[in-house]
Amino acid sequence: MHEHTLAELSGLLNTGKISSVELTTLYLDRIGRYNPQLNCYISITPELALEQARLADSLISKRLHGPLTGIPVAHKDIFCMDGIRTSCGSKMLDNFISPYNATVVEKLNSAGMVTLGKTNMDEFAMGSSTETSYYGPSTNPWDIGRVPGGSSGGSGSAVAARLVPAATGTDTGGSIRQPASLCGITGLKPTYGLVSRYGMIAFASSLDQGGPMTQTAEDAALMLNAMAGFDVRDSTSLQREPVDYTARLADSLSGLKIGIPAQYFSDALDDQTASRIQEAIKQFEQCGARIVDIDLPNTHLSIPAYYVIAPAEASSNLSRFDGVRFGYRCADPDDLLDLYCRSRGEGFGREVKRRIMIGTYVLSAGYFDAYYLKAQKVRRLIRDDFQRALKQVDVIMGPTTPMPAFRLNELMDDPVSMYLSDIFTVSVNLAGLPAISIPAGFSSQLPVGLQIIGDYFSESRLLNIAHQYQQRTDWHSQIPGGYA
Amino acid sequence: MSLESADIKTLARLARLALNDDEIEEYQHTLGNILGLVEQLQAVQTGAITPLAHPLEISARLRTDEITEIDQRTKFQQIAPETAKGFYLVPRVIE
């Protein structure tokens, strides 16, 4: 049963072939069996899940259900859930029982989804491997000696191993797309402002965006239908007419103009990854798409700009963790300053402290113009590159990551190399654009992701393109050995 | 780019982070490397370019000044490290 997509499970629930309680029990059993080796869940919520499943079954029996009713889901542990620990992968919030629901959680609850638990992640979403999690790293089901990517690596690993049909993630510099790529699943980062950030613990507020992590583009469309929408409680939420993201999945790709940036195919790219991406592009040509060479000349500046802007915003956002109202508090503080410094020093892990320090440095007196304002100017250059390119073409394609999943501990002592693994994803966040990563084959038995970037609010088109590719390939339906 | 241990200590004080000696030494290297990476920005001519703060250049939405939250103090204080009589307790600030 676990091999089915969300859309297929929805059909089976609708026709009574299986009940939500049966489905939920089946996935909870798989979690019990495989989570010890994958560590993709920080918390498992069986009682809540079964209660939600019983409610879903009753709605289905009364024919009061929607396409997501009764489908199990897992939330990245960055989304607040009322009455449930929301740790954000940190010792700082290990004892934090959220007093409210994130809007995304509220919306998926209302859609009738069944929450199996909270997934592992890099601490405060700062990382590309889940190795900065206070709860230890998740592993990649394709090779448990390797990382699943990050920061939404627990969601990536759980969906890839079919320990849940779909999960939520968040993407600040690639944190949905990079783990989707490394785990061989579909991950969509929507346009900035499309999905509410309310109750999604803030890392870098001008970059953070939630989105679905699923087996297929069709499943991502079903999830996005429920996740997207204006929220008065998020000051950057966009007011737009609701869209049915499944409506255009079947559209033809004839005449589609695909831009290929030379900058995404440098010598640093893994050979087999490059071949898989070229093969995928040929597949699109066979569907009637036209390939256009484009130029994104400031791509190399995206990592430097990101590592000013994101830490600056993070150092400000994370100043709220002071050991006073919630979260970790140090033992026996001497005075108030000692309470702040030790609660933060002991409660945050190394990478989080590193980024707070960088942010503090670039925002300090005398450096603000040279670093922060400079980075924001470069941010405009990067966005303008995309705007120019997207006047010429409909979408941009390239690899999601320069190489497939790396080994556990391989990059942990070298933060700069770890940061550079996000070279193809961060520029999309700086520009606020939507992008999707879909499975496009393998490099030495490890999944390779194809990234498709579109203009603002082009999610329907991105999902259509991804769906058409998935109609002609079966990379997305391959399950890692040992989890089949 | 290299940083002195005094630089790290100043940053840690500004950021309200207690660091041990091992961390101070590590951050001298890794922060230096990260700032070296960021240094590439200085070579870019950005004279007349307006900084981009919001990707869609939309300013924050305004709303009327009305009370929209209900009192949930008891619920919120259940997760606080230390409270008394409805207050959050911290070490004595005024003698």
pLDDT in tens, B33-67: 999 999 999 999 998 999 998 888 888 788 899 99
pLDDT at B1: 72
Nearest-Cα distance to chain A for B46, in Å, is 6
The three-point CA angle A39-A43-A47 to 5° equals 130
pTM of the model: 0.97
CB crowding A134-157: b at 16 or more within 10 Å, else e:
bbebbbbbbbbebbbbbbbbbbbb
**Dihedral sign (CA A32, A36, A38, A40):** positive
Residue with tokens 């007011």: A239
At how many degrees (to 10) do helices A302-317 and A374-392 cross?
120
Verify whether the Cβ–Cβ distance B19 to A345 is below 8 Å: yes
pLDDT at A447: 98
Strand B87-88, strand B83-84: pairing: antiparallel
pLDDT in tens, A69-87: 999 999 999 999 999 999 9
- Which residues from A are below 8 Å from B91, CB to CB? 333-336, 338-339
Verify whether the Cβ–Cβ distance B51 to A379 is below 8 Å: yes
At A427, the pLDDT band (50, 70, 90 cuts) reads very high
Question: Could you list the active site residues of A?
Answer: 76, 151, 175
Verify whether the Cβ–Cβ distance B16 to A301 is below 8 Å: no
C-beta separation of A22 from A231 below 8 A: no
Nearest-Cα distance to chain B for A297, in Å, is 12
Verify whether the Cβ–Cβ distance B88 to A206 is below 8 Å: no
B15 touching A (Cβ < 8 Å): yes
3-state secondary structure A95-121: CCECCCCCHHHHHHHHCCCEEEEEECC
pLDDT at B69: 87
| pLDDT above 80: residue A393 | yes
B34, B72, B92 ranked by CB distance to A307: nearest: B34
At B94, the pLDDT band (50, 70, 90 cuts) reads confident
- Which residues from B are below 8 Å from A381, CB to CB? 44, 46, 49
Chain B residue at shortest CA distance from A94: B79
- Which residues from A are below 8 Å from B86, CB to CB? none
Verify whether the Cβ–Cβ distance A322 to B26 is below 8 Å: no
Which residue of B2, B3, B16, B23 to mutate against A (max A Cβ within 10 Å)?
B16
At how many degrees (to 10) do helices A103-110 and A217-227 cross?
110
Chain B residue at shortest CA distance from A380: B52
Of B66 and A266, the one with more pLDDT: B66
Verify whether the Cβ–Cβ distance A371 to B38 is below 8 Å: yes
